[in-house]
Chains A and B, each alone.
Chain A
Amino acid sequence: METTVPPVFGKEKGYGLHKLALVFYDALFYLSGSDLDRDVLNVKRVICTLGAMILTLCLVLGSIACGKTRVAISTTTSLYDTGLWGVLEPMFEQKYGVDLDILRAGTGIAIEYGKRGDVDAIAVHAKSREQQFVTDGYGIERVPFTYNYYVIVGPVNDPAGIGEMSPEDAFEKLFTDASSRFISRGDDSGTHGKEKTIWAAAGYDYDTQVVGTGAWYVEAGKGMGDTLNMANEIRGYTVSDIGTFLAYQGELDLETVVDEGAILLNVYSVLACNPDNTNSSVNLEMGHNLVIFLTSDEVQKIIGQYGIEEYGRQLFIPCAGNEPTP
């Protein structure tokens, strides 16, 4: 037996829409309404029905994907937090007509994403691991595009007195000095990797002589910003990239203590991921485009000028694909 459809909205006009509205009406009020007054329309019911229809429309529209291709890259937190990508992203998107998805990740996971084929390119600062990435066939080529220097920062007035020393000597002093404390990133990031290199250069075996040997060496296990905050709190020393430090400097009682030394060189490279090794969904064309983009004269110039206005000094030195010499 057919259930009659009452002429709620009236005549023939927009009959399809009328039926759709009734579906929403019935669905909404099946649970809370009564058969007795189903035909009774009041303002509340009309609003609810229309509201539900609009919401469903939004939900449906929201799930329809935009036509543009999506290109994903993973980048290290220190590079992301300087805000450089905020400038480069719209430029790239406009030039190539794609949507650029930038994943802010620790160096370790950023490289892992590349190995899994979840991103089309990676932009990190861990030379040996990048070279391994290419050797293992995950990446096409390692292309350095900019560099700067790490700094060793410490409390204002430098209680350990390591200012003006070389990074290796400074580390030695921090190791031997009983009262000074060191905060490490402790998260296998590029910065952490650099720190380990300095320990090795200073003549210490990291795993046996440095890690977990006392309260003087604190493993933060956090990002650069948080690590700086921690160094600030406990008045210790840490290694930081210049970009993050400048961004946080205003709120900290820390200053750059050692900022010269070949070992402090911090090189950022971009590597396009290899679709053959991971899976064919990796967009090699766009990965390649990104490399070209970052090493182009126009962009290199922008990179070189980034930060001058805000911090009064250059944050990045362009190097257009060439390995910088310290």
Chain B
Amino acid sequence: MTLLRVENVGQAHNEIEILKGINLSLERGEVFALIGPTGSGKTTLMKLIDLLTKPSLGQIYFDEVDVTDVESDRLAARRRMSLVQQKPIVFSMNVYDNVAIGLKWRGIARDLTKGKVEYVLDLVGMADYAHRDAKTLSGGETQRVALARALVVEPELLLLDEPTANLDPNSVSKIEEVIEHVIKKHKISVFMTTHDMVQGQRLSDTVGVLIAGEMLQMGTPEQIFSAPLNKEVAEFVGIDNILAGMIEKKDGELADVRVASGIISAISHYEVGDDVYALIRPEDITLSLAKDHGSARNLFSGKIFKITMLGSLVHIEVDCGFPLFVVATARSALDMGLVVDTQVFISFKATAIKVIKRWV
């Protein structure tokens, strides 16, 4: 049974369209991650789903009930959801009261409340903090309290709006751990937004990509990350090699894509003459000093023109007639003595390339 359905929803503010034609649905027990760059409208959509604001266009259904307009229906539905905000925010009371307040508002008896609050505090690892003044907590601790506060009311739908956006890296992993634990243990339906794709990929069943107010792609994490439908999604999900080109020759499924001065062999269903993008993940490209085919169909030689250190990895930009980004470990880069102007050989399989339509 569909828990949440968003139909053709649009949101405009002062004549600026923030969201356009949003359609999505969420089943019970499903975890949906909405990813997109900052400013794409994620929080706006979140507020619409949490029924804090009304959409300019379209309908929202919660548990098959239209909750777009009628205030009493909205309040009833809102009480079956909980939201954790991006900015960690707590009320001026101790941790216990913060968590308990949702239950208080629902008229739950005090002795029942006690048990529930203690349970969720334990769940998020804040059991010893009950008496603490919530305003004295760190960002990560506050967010955990916020999560506990959202969970204690036993929501049918848990909403997480970029829950780790404002936290330090340590707290981020801690919170992700807690969220994962809660999801796995209680099989809650979750709708979350994040600009961290890895987080979205890790925690969710379905991913939606929201760019500039439009839902450009929706599917399983694998679909999104390995088979993005268009350039914007590809860019966002971190495919660094997006090569513009055209199909010159076709042999069954095998296509020859002309990209600048080279030909790339890829698997595609597009036809000769189609304008396309060839997408290649840096991780799928092999870089070596010796000409070595292996089983890869594509082999190019080129010169390194930029090397960037990124933690324990090295980003290498190679000029093969067209630019290619490759990733290697710092260790291997050192061993191979890779520096700018080093002559290298690039190889990658035809199956590693994703070909998508290019609109000209």
Chain A residue with Cβ nearest B93: A34
Asked if B111 contacts A35 (CB within 8 A), the reply is no
Query: Which stretch of A1-9, A76-84, A122-130, A227-235 is in the interface?
Result: A1-9
Contacting residues, chain A, for B113 (C-beta < 8 A): 35
Asked if A4 contacts B97 (CB within 8 A), the reply is no
Chain B residue with Cβ nearest A5: B110
Asked if A4 contacts B111 (CB within 8 A), the reply is yes
Asked if B97 contacts A34 (CB within 8 A), the reply is yes
Contacting residues, chain B, for A38 (C-beta < 8 A): 110
Asked if B96 contacts A34 (CB within 8 A), the reply is yes
Contacting residues, chain B, for A17 (C-beta < 8 A): none
In the complex the two chains form, what is the Cα distance from A1 to B106 in whole Å? 8
Q: A35-B113, A36-B130, A36-B131 are in contact. Are A1 and B96 (CB under 8 A)?
A: no
CB-CB contacts below 8 Å: B77-131 with A: 93-94, 96-97, 100, 104, 106-111, 113, 130-131
Nearest Cβ on chain B to A5's Cβ, whole angstroms: 10
In the complex the two chains form, what is the Cα distance from A3 to B130 in whole Å? 21
Asked if B110 contacts A1 (CB within 8 A), the reply is no
In the complex the two chains form, what is the Cα distance from A34 to B104 in whole Å? 12
Asked if B110 contacts A3 (CB within 8 A), the reply is yes
In the complex the two chains form, what is the Cα distance from A34 to B134 in whole Å? 12
Asked if B108 contacts A4 (CB within 8 A), the reply is no
Contact of A1 among B93, B94, B100, B108 (CB under 8 A): B108
In the complex the two chains form, what is the Cα distance from A3 to B108 in whole Å? 7
Contact of B94 among A2, A4, A34 (CB under 8 A): A34
Flag A214-246 by CB within 8 Å of B: 1 or 0 each: 000000000000000000000000000000000
Asked if B93 contacts A4 (CB within 8 A), the reply is no
Asked if A4 contacts B96 (CB within 8 A), the reply is no
Most buried by B among A3, A34, A38: A34
Contacting residues, chain A, for B130 (C-beta < 8 A): 36
CB-CB contacts below 8 Å: A17-68 with B: 34-36, 38
Nearest Cβ on chain A to B127's Cβ, whole angstroms: 14
Contacting residues, chain B, for A1 (C-beta < 8 A): 106-109
Nearest Cβ on chain A to B114's Cβ, whole angstroms: 9
Nearest Cβ on chain A to B118's Cβ, whole angstroms: 11
Contacting residues, chain A, for B104 (C-beta < 8 A): 35
Nearest Cβ on chain A to B264's Cβ, whole angstroms: 66
Contacting residues, chain A, for B131 (C-beta < 8 A): 36
In the complex the two chains form, what is the Cα distance from A36 to B100 in whole Å? 10
Asked if A36 contacts B96 (CB within 8 A), the reply is yes
In the complex the two chains form, what is the Cα distance from A34 to B114 in whole Å? 13
Chain B residues with CB under 8 Å of chain A are 93-94, 96-97, 100, 104, 106-111, 113, 130-131
Chain A residues with CB under 8 Å of chain B are 1-4, 34-36, 38
Give 24 CB contacts A-B under 8 Å.
A1-B106, A1-B107, A1-B108, A1-B109, A2-B109, A3-B107, A4-B109, A4-B110, A4-B111, A34-B93, A34-B94, A34-B96, A34-B97, A35-B96, A35-B97, A35-B100, A35-B104, A35-B113, A36-B94, A36-B96, A36-B97, A36-B130, A36-B131, A38-B110
